[in-house]
Structure 1
Amino acid sequence: MRQQDMNRDWIATAATLSQALPYMQRYAGATVVIKLGGHAMGSDDAMEEFARDVVLMQQVGVNPVIVHGGGPMINDMLEKLAIKSAFVDGKRVTDTATVEVVEMVLSGKVNKRIVQAIARQGGRAVGLSGKDARLMVCEQDVPELGLVGTPTDVDPTILRTLFDANTIPVIAPLGAGRNGETLNVNGDTAAGAIAAALTADRLLLLTDVSGVKDKDGNVVTEMTPDQIAAMTADGTIAGGMIPKTRTALDAIAGGVRAVVILDGRAPNACLLELFTDHGAGSLIRTAR
């Protein structure tokens, strides 16, 4: 690369940092919960980029919390172990053998991979699950699905302790039942419940789509709960976007300031959302 081109790149980088200053000041001390899933979970390069972004967020004063999924990894392990699953209305029944694999994969392989990626970028992270320190106590709302839970009591004390220690929590979506049993929890649901318990400033739901789209296929960059209700009623919001928008509405009702559904495949998606005027994805909040 020629020296002139290098100088131009450095000037552009400095200008970007300068323009980001008001946003860095805006989010200093804020709590941002990130649901990590999709592309960033499967690609090593994407994982490293995500980890670097999270460490940068913390460096400028944000308190990031990561809640991760791991469905494809769970499916792979169940297949390797020849554990067959039953399904009810298309949803997997989580029996004792299955939940043992879920816990092994989520709390073990997946969780530690994220923790290690953050460490490689110079950050400090601790992996835990919703079972630790009674972070998430859950109820079995649909008994026919087996050991699947919905958070009913979320105690974020351990997370605030980690904030004070300048440490990033990385949380596997498992909860404890009333009798101490391990329950599998949907990752988006867990992230929303934790964000509400922390009264987070932002909940970022990373997906493999660019956001909520209107009837013409265009991403709606800002939405209210009323708009989501109308778009769901007329079928514009459908399929896998319904549970994500439902998580967003529940989180906002629980005290989260805003929720963003954004494309985790986009480079530096979290930084674009937080620290630029452009933003990324679909921002959902109550009307001002």
Structure 2
Amino acid sequence: MTKTATETPAIAEVLIEALPYMRRYRGTVMVVKYGGHAMGDENAARDFARDVVLLKQIGINPVVVHGGGPQIKAMLDRLKIQSAFIDGLRVTDAATVEVVEMVLAGKINKEIVSAIQSAGGKAVGLSGKDGMLIEARKVSRTQRDPDSNIERVVDLGFVGEPSHIDRSILDVFVGTDIIPVIAPIGVGVDGQTYNINADTAAGAIAGALSAKKLLMLTDVRGVLDAGKNFLASLTATEARRLIADGTISGGMIPKIETCLAAVEAGVEAAVILDGRVPHSILLELFTEGGGGTQIVAS
């Protein structure tokens, strides 16, 4: 399509603004947690694939970690397998963990790989079980009985959390033209399969790789203050204070905690950004204002 005389200077300005950021990030690792609306919408999924391919082509090393909660639910419903959530984690029995692995490491993972390759890139799909990339341990949770005030241990089944990330598996792809796409399935020392929250897996991988940034695609713009004003940047200390006073609440808390763990592990910055916005990754990385809430070490 031919650009108008008005459009051409604007496009040039965008490219000029992006250039110093491209130089800054060249050769670095960016871990992208992919999920939410950006995964479920066909156009958003195509834009995501194009953005990731562009990062690779300009010399950045993206690592994609994806979720798939709605797709897992749809398959469980189809198979008439009951499931429940406790503190945002899916209780995962033996039947459920088989479905989780099938959906995450199979269908979804390969769909993302195919989308990236359709956009002109090369991708390899992995699960955390491959090469023991994500070694996991069983998650334990407690709940307090409101009547007796006694805490009891809740068995979440085969729900795990990363205990070790073998970065050597992912180092193989750095400097190549291949983009790793990782399903958050872990493996225990006894060979047991564990379902891992995708945010948690992405944060652990970012920390292990000393990534430049962890980009967490969500269905909200970012973090809001008590007056519902958008916050473009937070230090770790400020983020913890907002959790303590209740400003950050609900499902945003575990996402922020993942970001905090990542920056404490050496990631330069972790960003909560809206995956519903077209090309949100590019806007975050290559424009002055970014697009989401950036969390940095205090």
Question: TM-score scaled to structure 2, two decimals?
Answer: 0.92
- Does the Cα contact within 8 Å between 1:38 and 1:264 map onto a contact in 2? yes
* Partner amino acid, structure 2, of 1:152: S
Q: Is the 8 A contact 1:88 1:144 kept in 2?
A: no
1:107 paired residue number: 105
Shift of 1:159: 1.1
Q: SS at 1:104's partner residue?
A: helix
- Paired position in structure 2 for 1:93: 91
Matches within 5 A, 1:59-74: 59-74=57-72
- CA 1:91 to 1:20, structure 2 compared with 1: closer, same or farther past 3 Å? closer
Deviation of 1:166 after TM superposition, in Å, equals 1.6
**CA 1:200–1:125 in 2, change beyond 3 Å: closer, same or farther?**
same
AA of the residue aligned to 1:55: V
Query: Distance between the aligned counterparts of 1:90 and 1:192, measured in 2?
Result: 17
CA spacing shift, 1:270–1:86, aligned 2, 3 Å: closer
Q: What secondary structure sits across from 1:247 in the alignment?
A: helix
Q: Which residue is 1:252 aligned to?
A: 263
| Aligned position for 2:223 | 212
1:24-43 aligned at under 5 Å gives the runs 24-43=22-41
CA distance, structure 1, for counterparts of residue 286 and residue 28 of structure 2: 13
Cα displacement (A) at 1:10 = 3.0
1:201 aligns with 2:199: no
CA shift for structure 1 position 86: 4.5
Deviations 1:210-259 (A, max 9, x none): 00110111111010111011111110000001000000111111111110
- TM-score of the superposition, structure 1-length normalised? 0.96
Paired residues, number: 285
Shift of 1:37: 0.8
Supply the AA of the counterpart residue of 2:131: A
Does structure 1 residue 119 correspond to structure 2 residue 126? no
Structure 1 or 2: larger strand share?
2
Q: Aligned residue for 1:160?
A: 171
More helix by share: 1
Q: Deviations over 1:169-204 (max 9, x none)?
A: 000000001101110000000000000000000000
Note the residue ranges of structure 2 that are not aligned, 5 or more in a row: 141-153
Could you tell me which amino acid in structure 2 is paired with residue 202 of structure 1? Answer: K
**Structure 1 unpaired stretches of 5+:** none
**Equivalent runs, 1:243-282 vs 2, <5 Å:** 243-282=254-293
Q: Which residue of 1 aligns with 2:144?
A: none
Conserved 8 A contact 1:36-1:69 = yes
User: Structure 2: how far apart are the matches of 1:139 and 1:208?
Assistant: 29
Match of 1:84 among 69, 82, 88: 82
Shift of 1:89: 5.7
Residue 73 of structure 2 aligns with which residue? 75
Matched, 1:44 2:42: yes
How far, CA to CA, are the matches of 1:207 and 1:129 in structure 2? 21
Amino acid at match of 1:77: M
Q: Cα distance, 1:165 vs. partner?
A: 2.7
Q: What's the counterpart of residue 7 of structure 2?
A: 9
Separation in 2 of the partners of 1:255 and 1:220?
22
Does the CA-based 8 Å contact 2:92-2:157 persist in structure 1? yes
Contact 1:147-1:183 within 8 A present in 2 as well = yes
